[in-house]
Structure 1
Amino acid sequence: MSNRKPYIREITPTWWKNHPFYRFYMLREATVLPLVIFTIFLTIGLAALVRGPEAWHTWLEFMANPIVILINLVALIGSLFHAQTFFSMMPQVVPIRFKAKLIDKKLIVMTQWAAVVFISLIVLIVV
């Protein structure tokens, strides 16, 4: 048996702050927090819709609160940021070939955004 002590690298709770890549990653992953709050608000709205007109109007008044509107705007910005980072990674993760030739990364990303806009317009028209 050896009397040497093994090397144990110290890891602080803020280790990720020392590298820009990890700071960006943590920011990207933190975008889920306002989205969770937004989802909870929508779930409460569905429950209010089921309970009747009075509960529905109470929920609408709650959603008109400036703080709730701010949370929803932060959730929208966070989801757009998350989508942008996801779309920009997609061509690297899944390179798409057409007739044995790689499709340009910008074309793939722009096609994804076009699909988002198209689907959003359909939802706006239907609703």
Structure 2
Amino acid sequence: MSNRKPYVREMNATWWTKHPFYRFYMLREATVLPLILFTLFVTFGLGALVKGADAWNTWLAFMASPIVIAINIVALAGSLFHAATFFSMMPQVMPIRIKGKPIEKKTIVLAQWAAVAAISLIVLIIV
């Protein structure tokens, strides 16, 4: 057994703030926080819908609050940011080939956005 002390590198709680890559990663992962609130709001809305007209109208009034509207706008922006970063890395994670030829990265990303637009349009028409 050796008498040497092992090297222990210091790591404080804010180590990630010094690297742009990690700051971007933490920002991307933090987009889940407003989405959690949005999900809770919608879940309570479903509960209010089941309880009756009075509960539903109370929930609608709550959703019309400026703070809730701001949280929902931040959640939408966060989810679009998350989708954009996910779509941009998708061609690197899963390169698609047709007849042995790779598809351009831009085509894959645009196809994903087109799918989002088509699904959103279908949901808008149904609702």
Q: Same fold (TM over 0.5)?
A: yes
Aligned-pair identity in percent equals 74
TM-score of the aligned structures, taking structure 2 as reference length: 0.99
Partner of residue 63, structure 2: 63
Aligned residue identity for 1:28: R
Q: Which residue of 2 aligns with 1:4?
A: 4
**CA displacement 1:91-110 (0-9 Å, x = unmatched):** 00000001100000000000
Between the aligned partners of 1:113 and 1:3, the Cα distance in structure 2 is 60
Partner of 2:17: 17
DSSP-derived class of the 1:4 partner? coil
Which SS does the other structure have where 1:88 is aligned? helix
**CA distance in 1: counterparts of 2:49 and 2:62, whole angstroms:** 14
Q: How does 1:22-101 map to 2 (within 5 A)?
A: 22-101=22-101
Q: Displacement of 1:88 after TM fit?
A: 0.5
Moved over 2 A (4+): none
| Structure 2: distance between partners of 1:3 and 1:18 | 34
1:17-56 residue CA offsets vs partner (Å, 9 max, x unmatched):
1110000000000000000000000000000000000000
Structure 2: gaps (5+ residues): none
Structure 1 unmatched ranges of 5 or more: none
Cα displacement (A) at 1:2: 2.0
Aligned length: 127
Letter paired with 2:30: A
The RMSD of aligned alpha carbons is: 0.5
